[in-house]
Amino acid sequence: MSNVTVTTWSLEQTSPADLRPAAAPQGDGVRIVRSEVPSPEFSRFLYASVGGDIAWIDRLGWSYAQWRETLERPGTETWVAYEKGTPAGYVELAGQDDGAVEIVYFGLIPAFRGRRIGGHLLSYGAARAWDLAERWPGRTPTKRVWLHTCSLDGEHAMANYERRGFRLFGTETAEQSDAVAPGPWPGAFPSGV
């Protein structure tokens, strides 16, 4: 197996005023809903479907118990974008004890990319990160929203984060194994697609 050089960028907002929302897609076909019942099956589907062609592999080997434990942590939320009833993408938030909220995962299923859903979903997810404490009594109000993206993510990811008001605060470059992500199931992304 060969190695690939991967650059990881860490970005943040330090005030709700930093958020520059994208316009919602035209029409009434897109809605964003919180997945309030922790479901390892659904979350794994979203993870594998969104990250299958961009090397999201770190959670693929997780057990059901690992998924459940992560999803049931207080302050963890999954917000799902639907287009005409079909899941199009998601954003996973993780509230931290210091008043920070990480956007752990964000993205769209490949068939829904390039349709102006991503900016809207990221805007909505960042806004939900800023008001997370309102849904979790006893949590410290959000003081910072942060995330990371890397050179393996979609070609428009970094620009979308910056347009939404996220600012770079760290950059790392490292070698990692050039792993092949299988998509939602092995063979889902034939070569050349």
**Each residue's pLDDT tens digit, 133-146:** 999 999 999 999 99
Quick check: 149 and 56 in contact, CB under 8 A?
no
Rounded to 5 degrees, what angle do the CA atoms 14, 108, 81 make?
80
- The CATH T-level fold of domain 3-177 is Aminopeptidase (3.40.630)
Alpha carbon of residue 150 to chain centroid: 12
Q: What pTM was computed for the model?
A: 0.92
Rounded distance between C-alpha atoms, residue 91 and residue 108, angstroms: 9
Rounded distance between C-alpha atoms, residue 160 and residue 180, angstroms: 25
Per-residue pLDDT of the chain (193 residues; tens, 9 = 90+): 688 898 999 999 999 999 999 998 887 789 999 999 999 999 999 999 999 888 888 899 999 999 999 999 999 999 999 999 999 999 999 999 899 999 999 999 999 998 899 999 999 999 999 999 999 999 999 999 999 998 888 888 999 999 999 999 999 998 877 766 666 666 565 444 4
Domain ranges in the chain are: 3-177
